[in-house]
């Protein structure tokens, strides 16, 4: 039996089943979580390319699956990345159960897990570009529906993905040509350009970033958080995979310079626009843009430690966005207008705290999970590129100021401090308990980052070892 085939088909089949069960949310959540646990066990425990006895039967899990002349191969370094994906999907599925999501969220999430694995496993890599396009199409089905019917974000996302994918396909062809004509360095140069441009478009580098704040404003918060945290992380994993696979790309200093510049562009743009936001969705979108910029800058530094910091940023972003999503989803439940945002906030004080703390963690406020990795990056940049460090610091301050401004406009702080709001809350005990739990988790990870760091760093240890 082929392990990649098993991993890819299980979520696809369960996804089809879920589509028929979409009225029953808790059954969907249970099935998604069960599937993620099963996949997690398979990835962690299944012995690859070895004969084992399972329930009295001989089992042999192959690491590759050949279909129509193409191979889907599971390499050891994929295990930690898949673990990240499965845990993230598990957490988002649980979070989605307590807040409002689009009708197709759960079936699409499971189909996306299959597609994500196809992106990671497929050889040659040009086919990954085709799967990326299919993933983008699938994402649109969960970004918008009849309730969340502002489609601009979904359209922009689809458009930018569609513009980025052809570049990667062209890069693949040029690399094939280079194997035929190894003396022609122009092909390699063109392939680097094409690959760089394609991946940067997919990673929402400025000016291809506009879908992020729009989706953050107009989609269900948990769905927006999922796309920004997990789907974009998969694009980043694709970039890491390219760097591991091609030593000419890894040794191309200009490529890393482009990553640093792109990251700084995202940080500057995020810093400029985050201050002008008037709602929490926009704040989250531009804070996430700054955070993604930090990830690119960390990778662009081309140091083993900086790559581990990038991994830590990605992990803490997922936690922060889940906390934000639970809070924002509870407050704006089935309500995509913000005309009565103050009323909703007054009725949901615990969810408000959750949304604010999650957002501030994304903006790397001290004592939250987002801060340690940002601080580590800042220290690293201060030693190598002090100008970058100053820009990053200013952008971070702008994000904090933006939050303070919106909080001052929309939240009745005296009510929260006096305790009036907590006594008159309309939140259920479950929501209160969950909000308290996620906020405490975020603060604990901020205070004790060493609990998370080794696990996050293991995601990219394969590239950290070869980046010397």
Partner 1 sequence: MNSASQIIEVLLPLGSGYVAVVAVSIMAPILVVVDDRRLVIVALAVLYLFVSLLFTNVLAPQIAGIKLIVYMVVWIIIFICVQQKGWRYGEYSNEIGGLIVSAKIRFRVFAVIVAGLVGWQLIETGKLPFPIVAESVTFGATQLVCQGLMLLAITRQPLKVGIGILIMFSGFGLLYSAVEPALMVVGMLGLIDIAVALVICYLELVWETNTNKEVST
Note the residues at the interface with partner 1 (CB under 8 A).
68-70, 126-127, 130, 133-134, 137, 140-141, 144-146, 149-152, 154-155, 158-159, 162-163, 166, 169-170, 173-174, 190, 194
- Cβ proximity to partner 1: between 127 and 280 the closer is 127
**H-helix segments, 21-74:** 25-45
Give dist(CA 276, CA 255) in Å, integer.
32
CB of 52 to partner 1, least distance (A): 33
- Cβ proximity to partner 1: between 65 and 127 the closer is 127
CB of 161 to partner 1, least distance (A): 9
**How far is CA 194 from its chain centroid?**
23
CB of 29 to partner 1, least distance (A): 24
Give dist(CA 114, CA 293) in Å, integer.
27
**H-helix segments, 301-385:** 304-331, 341-347, 349-362, 370-384
Token digits of residue 380:
């690293």
Give dist(CA 271, CA 394) in Å, integer.
7
- Cβ proximity to partner 1: between 139 and 322 the closer is 139
CB of 396 to partner 1, least distance (A): 33
- Cβ proximity to partner 1: between 68 and 417 the closer is 68
Per-residue CA distances from 121 to 127, 139, 202 (Å): 10, 20, 19
CB of 165 to partner 1, least distance (A): 8
- Cβ proximity to partner 1: between 68 and 468 the closer is 68
Query: Nearest-CA neighbor of 442 among 327, 278, 348?
Result: 327
CB of 173 to partner 1, least distance (A): 5
User: ∠ CA(189), CA(199), CA(187), 5° rounding?
Assistant: 15
Within 10 angstroms of residue 339's Cβ, the number of other Cβ atoms is: 8
Please, are residues 182 and 253 in contact by the beta-carbon 8 Å criterion? no
- Cβ proximity to partner 1: between 138 and 357 the closer is 138
- Cβ proximity to partner 1: between 44 and 162 the closer is 162
Within 10 angstroms of residue 48's Cβ, the number of other Cβ atoms is: 16
Please, are residues 33 and 93 in contact by the beta-carbon 8 Å criterion? yes
- Cβ proximity to partner 1: between 162 and 428 the closer is 162
- Cβ proximity to partner 1: between 158 and 264 the closer is 158
CB of 133 to partner 1, least distance (A): 5
In the beta sheet, which residues pair with residue 73?
Answer: 64
Report the SS3 class of residue 68.
Answer: coil
Please, are residues 194 and 140 in contact by the beta-carbon 8 Å criterion? no
In the beta sheet, which residues pair with residue 66?
Answer: 71
CB of 110 to partner 1, least distance (A): 17
DSSP code of 227? I
Please, are residues 321 and 358 in contact by the beta-carbon 8 Å criterion? yes
N residues, the chain: 468
Token digits of residue 219:
């989609």
CB of 209 to partner 1, least distance (A): 16
């Amino acid at each position: 039996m082929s392990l990649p085939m098993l991993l890819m088909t299980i979520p696809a089949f369960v996804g089809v089943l879920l589509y028929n069960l979409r009225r029953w949310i808790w059954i969907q959540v249970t099935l998604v979580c069960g599937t993620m646990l099963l996949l997690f066990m398979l990835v962690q425990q299944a012995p690859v390319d070895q004969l084992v006895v399972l329930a009295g039967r001989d089992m042999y899990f192959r690491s590759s699956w050949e279909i129509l002349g193409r191979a889907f191969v599971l390499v050891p370094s994929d295990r930690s990345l898949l673990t990240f994906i499965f845990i993230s999907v598990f957490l988002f599925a649980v979070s989605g159960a307590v807040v409002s999501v689009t009708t197709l969220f759960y079936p699409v999430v499971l189909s996306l897990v299959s597609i994500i694995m196809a992106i990671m496993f497929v050889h040659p890599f040009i086919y990954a570009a085709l799967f990326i396009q299919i993933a983008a199409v699938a994402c649109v089905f969960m970004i918008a529906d009849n309730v969340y019917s502002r489609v601009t974000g979904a359209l922009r996302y689809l458009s930018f993905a569609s513009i980025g994918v052809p570049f990667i396909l062209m890069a693949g062809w040029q690399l094939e040509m280079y194997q035929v004509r190894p003396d022609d360095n122009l092909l390699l140069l063109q392939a680097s350009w094409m690959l760089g441009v394609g991946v940067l478009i997919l990673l929402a580098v400025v000016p291809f970033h506009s879908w992020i704040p729009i989706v953050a404003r107009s989609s269900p918060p948990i769905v927006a958080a999922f796309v920004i945290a997990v789907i974009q992380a998969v694009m980043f994993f694709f970039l890491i995979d390219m760097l591991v696979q091609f030593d000419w790309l890894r040794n191309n200093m200009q490529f890393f310079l482009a990553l640093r510049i792109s990251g700084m562009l995202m940080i500057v743009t995020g810093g400029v626009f985050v201050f002008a936001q008037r709602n929490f969705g926009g704040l989250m979108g531009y804070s996430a843009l700054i955070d993604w910029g930090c990830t690119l800058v960390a990778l662009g530094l081309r140091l083993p430690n900086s790559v581990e910091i990038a991994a830590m940023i990605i992990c803490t972003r997922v936690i922060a966005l889940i906390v934000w999503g639970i809070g924002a989803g509870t407050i704006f439940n089935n309500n995509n207008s913000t005309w009565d945002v103050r009323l909703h906030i007054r009725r949901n004080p615990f969810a408000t705290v959750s949304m604010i703390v999650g957002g501030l963690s994304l903006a790397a406020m001290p004592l939250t999970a987002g801060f340690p990795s940002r601080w580590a990056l800042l220290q690293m940049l201060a030693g190598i590129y002090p100008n970058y460090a100053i820009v990053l610091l200013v952008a971070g301050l702008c994000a904090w100021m933006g939050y303070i401004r919106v909080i001052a406009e929309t939240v009745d702080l005296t009510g929260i401090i006096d305790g009036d709001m907590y006594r008159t809350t309309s939140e259920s005990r479950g929501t209160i308990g969950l909000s308290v739990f996620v906020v405490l988790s975020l603060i604990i990870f901020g205070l004790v980052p060493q609990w998370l760091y080794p696990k996050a760093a293991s995601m990219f240890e394969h590239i950290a070892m070869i980046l010397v």
